[in-house]
Amino acid sequence: MSSIIKTRAFVLSKLDFGDTSKIAKFYTEDYGRISGIIKGARSPKSKIGKTIDLMNFVELVFYGKENREIQVVTQADLISHYPKIKSDLEKLKYASAILELTLRLTLENDPHKRLFNGIERILSRIENEKTEPILLFAMFFKFFLEEIGYGLVTEKCGECNNKLVDSKTISYNHNLGMICDECSKNHLISFEFSLELFNKMVCLSQRNNKCSFTEDELKDMITFFERFLVYHVDQFNGIKSLKIF
């Protein structure tokens, strides 16, 4: 039995289906990632077809049926289409990377209100603030890792349990996590941080922090987060959006 469901959602992807329809993937506030078919969406007269566009934030109405892989979408009202993001290549690059992570690394029908709110907040900041998009993306990336269950332990060495702040350099080993300079001598190292870079990475998730970041430092952090995911998540081979733009 179907029920009429209304929820807010981000449009993650869309593709043509049949002669007149489209299939889209959404990240919804109440149901997590879902797929939906929009019948007649390719008609020039279709209002809903124009509303369901990539990155749009919409209020979605669909006929929800348990165990059905693709829901039938009947209505979509636009909340925001992020015009400043879509007209700025740098903003678009990092906003697209946020949607790509959400599309590829969240589970279907697995609601996560905190993650949804995080996406809404970071896209709004990219749209409205003068803060560098790369900094906002790095902050989101670390938050995203924590929310999907891949948070990094940054307080103590994964081998000797000593405080990492007492180490001159910090290294990362895929099996042990973050390790101090002394323990790193005995293990294969996947990534090495200066103490300054490590502290700045920790600072990414602290509110009202006074840390300053260079573009190269942010790129190094993003590279580390990406390599971390490539190792730990099957079939994930990096963020394509960061290479396209």
Give the C-alpha separation, 209 to 142, whole Å. Answer: 15
Give the pLDDT of residue 166: 87
Give the C-alpha separation, 100 to 114, whole Å. Answer: 18
The confidence band for 1, taking pLDDT boundaries of 50, 70 and 90, is: low
Give the C-alpha separation, 151 to 138, whole Å. Answer: 14
**Could you give the percent of the chain with pLDDT greater than 90?**
86
- The answer to whether 236 touches 87, Cβ cutoff 8 Å, is no
pLDDT tens digit sequence for 8-52: 999 999 999 988 899 999 999 999 999 999 998 888 888 898 999
Show the domains of the chain with their CATH numbers.
3-80 (2.40.50.140), 83-151+213-244 (no CATH)
- Say whether pLDDT at 116 is over 70: yes
pLDDT tens digit sequence for 58-111: 999 999 888 889 999 999 999 999 999 999 999 999 999 999 999 999 999 999
